[in-house]
Amino acid sequence: MLHANDTAVQFSGVQKAYDGHALVVKNLDLDIARGEFLTLLGPSGSGKTTSLMMLAGFEVPTRGRIFLEGRPIDKLPPHKRDIGMVFQNYALFPHMTVEENLAFPLKVRKLARLEVETRTKEALDMVRLGPYGQRRPNQLSGGQQQRVALARALIFNPNVVLMDEPLGALDKQLREQMQLEIKRIHESLGLTVIYVTHDQGEALTMSNRVAVFNDGVIQQLAPPSEIYERPQSAFVAQFIGENNRLQGRVVKLDGDECKVEIPGQGIVQATPIDLDAVGRPSVLSLRPERVVLEPAPGSLPNIFTGVVQEVIYLGDHVRIRTSVCGHNDFVIKIQNSGACAQIRSREAITIGWKREDCRAFGVT
C-alpha cells in the first residue's frame, strides 16, 4: 500500500455496470504512485478501458470513489480534472496548424500570449517537431501526428496523463519508436502515466507496473518482470507471453514443490501456485525459452523424449514444435546457432526443464 503522499490516483471500491446489473468493473481498489507508468493490460471487454474512462470523467462509476492527488473527483467534469489524454485516433483539429493545436488547451485556460508561445515552442522541441509548427495534421505522418497529440496532452502540465491504445494505428516499426519516445518523455518529466493496451509487448517494454485485467478484475498487479516470470494465475501465464500447457492431476504437494501426473506420460515436478490438495486437476505452464534441448542425463528433474514436428527459422531464434507428453504443439524456443541447423522434422529429441520454471495452477 502506498503512503497517501505518494499516491497520485486512487480507485476505492469502484464498480461499473452499463445495464444496472452486469458489472464491467468489479470492486476495483487500485493505488497509482506519483510519477509511475502503470499499464492496464487485458483482452477486449476486460474492464481496462472503462476504468480509464471513469478516471477521465467520460464514464461515471456505479459505485465507489476515485481520488486524484487526494481529492475526490467523481463529480468533476472532465475538463476540470487536470488530466491529459492521448487517444488512438490522435483527435487533432484538422483545420488548425500544429502550433494552433498545441496552443488550444493553453488558450482555453486563458494563459498570456507570451506564455502560450513559450510553452508551444518547448512542447514542439520536446517531441522533436520544432520545424513542423506551421503544418496541418494531414501533412504529417502517423508517428508525427501521435507526437503532436502527446505534446498537446502534456503542454498544460497535467497531474496525470491517460493514454488509450495510443499506438494501435501505427505500423510495427513506428510503434516501437514511439514506445521509446513516450518512455523517454515519461522519465525526463517524471509524469504519472496510465496507459491502456492489449499489446503485452508494449506493456512489458514501457511500464513500471502492469495491471492485468480479466472479467472486470485485476488478476495480477506487479512489475513487468514479475508478471512474466512469476504469473499468479493460469490466465496471466497464458495471456502474457507464450506458454506450453500440460494438464494432469496433483499426486504430491509439499511446500513449494509438487508432482503432477500427466495421464499415460509420466510425472512432472513443478512449483505449485494455487493448489490446495492432492488429487486435484492442474494446468502446468512452461515458457518455451525455459526448455533445454538435449540435457545431460540426470541434470534436470524433468526430462522427456519427443518428436520434432516443425522447425521454424526466425532469425535470432528458432522455434521447434514438438510432440511431447501427448501434446503435438509443445514449443521450444532456442537462440540461433549452428546446432539448430542439425534439427530435422520427425527426428526424436530429448528435452528437459527445471522444477521452478514449471508452474502448476489449480483448475476451477
pLDDT of 128 reads: 87
pLDDT of 5 reads: 65
CB 211 within 8 A of CB 204: no
CB 344 within 8 A of CB 256: no
The stretches of the chain forming alpha helices (DSSP H) are 48-56, 98-108, 113-126, 142-154, 172-189, 200-206, 224-229, 234-239
- Interatomic CA distance for residues 62 and 71, integer angstroms: 19
- Which domains occur in the chain, in start order? 4-236 (3.40.50.300), 242-362 (2.40.50.100)
Instruction: Characterize the bridge pairing of strands 160-164 and 193-197.
Output: parallel
Tens digit of each residue's pLDDT (9 = 90 or more) over 88-141: 777 889 999 999 999 998 988 889 999 999 999 998 988 888 899 999 999 998
Number of CB atoms found within 10 A of residue 277's CB: 8
pLDDT of 240 reads: 92
Q: Is 340 in a helix, a strand, or coil?
A: helix
Tens digit of each residue's pLDDT (9 = 90 or more) over 322-337: 999 888 899 999 887 7
pLDDT of 354 reads: 96
**pLDDT < 70 stretches in the chain:** 1-5, 338-341
CA 155, 161, 165, 168 torsion-angle sign: positive
